Structure 1
Amino acid sequence: MKPLPFPYSVNIGTDIVHLSRILRLISRPHNYGKETYLQRFTRRILCDQERLDFRARFHPPPSTPSIIGPRSWNVPITPEMARWLAGRFAAKEAARKAGHGGGASSISWKDVQVRTEGSGSGGRGSGGRPEVVYLNANGGGHVGKLSISHDGDYVVATVLAAG
């Protein structure tokens, strides 16, 4: 008998991140005097709401063109900060892999928001389950299920999204 196809149109993506890689990346010296690698990483990877969540959690000053210089973020880089960023990175990469259509190459880092279930637009809900939102141009989007785990030096994330 011929096997039956899976009855639902779903996609799965997974990613694993070595925590020391993220810590090493965000701890690098300044990028030619313009911005720190921590600033560059958060600007390139996190969507607007996630950057607000990051600032609220770790208290770096907001970036504006007038204070982007090398001394503008005099924030100690902690293992907790690296773990949080590694979790976002792994979750976004898993979400991009699970994304519909062209896969990871067709979805940018900022097109995916990691948040807590039921937290509305913000990511700092009251301990709900994590989820990803595939953002679209009008601010809405489709929700994908996220499982994320931290163990020692590794962070792993898996996303289940409608295909």
Structure 2
Amino acid sequence: MKPPIPFPLALNIGTDIVHLPRIARLLTRHNGTYLARFTRRILHPREQADFRARFPLSSSPVPLHNPQTQSQAQPQSQTKSHPHPSPLEFPETITPDMTRWLAGRFAAKEAARKAAPRGAAQLGWKDVIVRVSAVDEGRPEVVYLGASEGDRLGKLSISHDGDYVVAMVLAAG
């Protein structure tokens, strides 16, 4: 038997699946103040700007209108973990669309990290940008920032179905 012919291109594939209720629970932690921490942690500044453009945040801190936390809601100024909140950190509501968008970014970035040439351990959340391609008919793509030869593109497929978001990234090896 002849040995198999190797694949002709050096490609890496990464896949991730996210359960939307898990992300919703994360975002509503600490009466919703975890949203700001989550977005600062996983989103590059360009993605944060896109997030704010899609989901405008209130200009003053207000309690969340979340049925699970409304009875426990207290003024944000009394929250122990954030005694001096930044006004842009608190949305008036954490909507299902906001949760779905952030879950999609999370899944796409995790898939991109897995597909990175040197693996996920060598790449931070902000080293990858998820964007809509200006060239390829508005398809989503990932941009690996700071490679030695410049930024590199990866192909992204993302799908939302019910309580799940799945992302797959194909990147040059």
Q: TM-score, normalised by structure 1?
A: 0.83
Counting only pairs closer than 5 Å after superposition, residues 1-163 of structure 1 correspond to structure 2 as 1-29=2-30, 36-60=33-57, 69=85, 72-101=89-118, 103-118=119-134, 128-136=138-146, 141-163=151-173
- Tell me by how many angstroms 1:68 deviates: 5.9
RMSD: 2.4
- Tell me by how many angstroms 1:61 deviates: 5.5
- Tell me by how many angstroms 1:75 deviates: 2.5
Task: Give 1 or 2 for the bigger CA radius of gyration.
Answer: 2
1:92/1:114 contact within 8 Å kept: yes
Task: Give the counterpart letter for 1:27 in structure 2.
Answer: T
1:55/1:61 contact within 8 Å kept: no
Following TM superposition, the consecutive aligned residue runs of length 4 or more in structure 1 with deviations greater than 3 angstroms are: none
Number of aligned positions between the proteins? 147
**Structure 1: tracts of 5 or more residues without a match:** 120-124
Distance 1:26 1:46 in 2: 14
Q: 1:17 to 1:129 in 2, by over 3 A?
A: same
Distance 1:83 1:14 in 2: 17
Distance 1:76 1:70 in 2: 16
- Tell me by how many angstroms 1:70 deviates: 7.1
Match of 2:66 in 1: none
- The one-character-per-residue Cα deviations of 1:124-163 (angstroms, maximum 9, x if unpaired) are x9x700000001189x510000000000000000000000
Distance 1:10 1:107 in 2: 17
- The one-character-per-residue Cα deviations of 1:44-71 (angstroms, maximum 9, x if unpaired) are 0000100000000000259xxxx96176
For 1:29, what is the secondary structure of its paired residue?
A: helix
**Structure 2: tracts of 5 or more residues without a match:** 60-82
Task: Give the counterpart letter for 2:134 in structure 1.
Answer: G
